[in-house]
Every structure is written in C-alpha cells, then in structure tokens.
Chains A and B, each alone.
Chain A
Amino acid sequence: DGGITQSPKYLFRKEGQNVTLSCEQNLNHDAMYWYRQDPGQGLRLIYYSQIVNDFQKGDIAEGYSVSREKKESFPLTVTSAQKNPTAFYLCASRSGGHQPQHFGDGTRLSIL
C-alpha cells in the first residue's frame, strides 16, 4: 500500500550534522504531519502543514525544520540543535474534515 513513502528506513547522524528525512504521498492529501515516537511517550507532533507553502510548529518543534514546496512532499530536517534526535519518526497525511490520518512506515534515526 503505497500511499505515504518515508525514506530512508534507517538513518545515522554524526555529531553536528543536519539530516533530512523524506516523506512523499500520492493520496492528494492537503495536510501532512511529522511525529516523533519514543518508547512510553506515544506520538508527539513536531510540525504540520495544512497546505502547500505553509506549515506550523507542533509541540516539540525545537531543533527541527520543514518545508512544503509541493503538495506531495514534506521533508523534515533534524538539525544539530536537536540534542536528543534518536527516535522513530513518522510522517502522516490526511485529506481534511474529520478524515483519519494515514501513516508511513517510519524512519529510525540513530546517533553515530
């Protein structure tokens, strides 16, 4: 089930390095989301975008940046300012209204 594609599946970051996680969707959804999933913490919202060229901070945006230049793409950059980046990152999208979110397979980021 294509829908939302996240890449890579695994990613390693060196100290002081920025890394970018890819998220692409072919569902023609307007809204896209990035979550961070840590054991025992559930899912926490990093950034979201309701329309192209617009995005808002979620609950834990510090140390992250995003862009939304195309409807189908919502890349997340984990910057060197994020001191605890090791986590599982999930991207999601939805069409609108009360429609549910659809999730990608996730990217696991680790520190070298």
Chain B
Amino acid sequence: AQRVTQPEKLLSVFKGAPVELKCNYSYSGSPELFWYVQYSRQRLQLLLRHISRESIKGFTADLNKGETSFHLKKPFAQEEDSAMYYCAPQGYGGSQGNLIFGKGTKLSVKP
C-alpha cells in the first residue's frame, strides 16, 4: 500500500537551531517527491520537489531511495518558517498522478 509517514506531529525549535522534518514513504514505482507548506492564513503551496534539487528558503531535502526517506532540512530555522509541512510522493499518469499526503508536521520556531 502507498503511504507516507511523518512521525512528528509537532516540532518545536528555537530560532537559529537546525531543523529536520522527517518523511518516510512506501510507494510502488519511482515517485516524484514533494514538500508542501501551509503558512498561517495562506494557501497550501509547493515548497520544493526532489527533481529540481533546489534550495528554497534555505530548505533542502535529500531523497534516500534505500531508506525510502525524503527528510526536509534547514541549518538555521527562522520564525517565519513556522508552518504546517506536508510530504507527498506523486506517481506519473492516471491515478498514479495523485499526491499521497502525510499527516503533516507543524513546525514552531520560537524566538
């Protein structure tokens, strides 16, 4: 079965501390991996995707196919990073093109 596990419901760190939001997935085939973010009072939006290999707002995510993980990392957290983060693999074509969302991790960055 396809599923995504984000083990931490809530992650609280102080400003300037490193942060890692964990994501493990079980998915047949080779999905594309996404991280979506939902800031307070804003719409859910794409943060980054594996295929782009970009760093967005200081965040990076490394795909580990052996461990089937796609953890999101940032070396120095900022207060404006406080938000809800969702990990989501997506296949290609047909129903495989649907996103499978984890339950999300709420990141709280304290001053």
Contacts and interface: CB of A to CB of B under 8 A. Distances in A.
A binds B: yes
B interface secondary structure, majority: mixed
Contact of A50 (B43, B46, B90, B97): B97
A14 to B, nearest CB: 28
Contact of B99 (A96, A97, A101, A105): A101
- In this complex, the member of B32, B98, B102 whose beta carbon has the largest number of chain A beta carbons within 10 angstroms is B98
A61 B83 CA distance: 28
B49 interface: yes
Contacts of A103: 43-45
Interface in B85-102: 86, 90, 92-95, 97-99, 101-102
B102 A40 contact: no
A98 B98 contact: no
B34 interface: yes
Contact of B90 (A41, A44, A98): A98
Nearest to B95: A56
Interface in A58-111: 58, 90, 92, 94, 96-98, 100-106
Contacts of A48: 95, 98
B110 to A, nearest CB: 21
Contacts of A102: 46
Contacts of B94: 50
Given A90-B44, A100-B49, A106-B43, A41 B92 contact: no
A94 B97 contact: yes
Nearest to B47: A100
Interface of A: 31, 33, 35, 40-45, 48, 50, 56, 58, 90, 92, 94, 96-98, 100-106
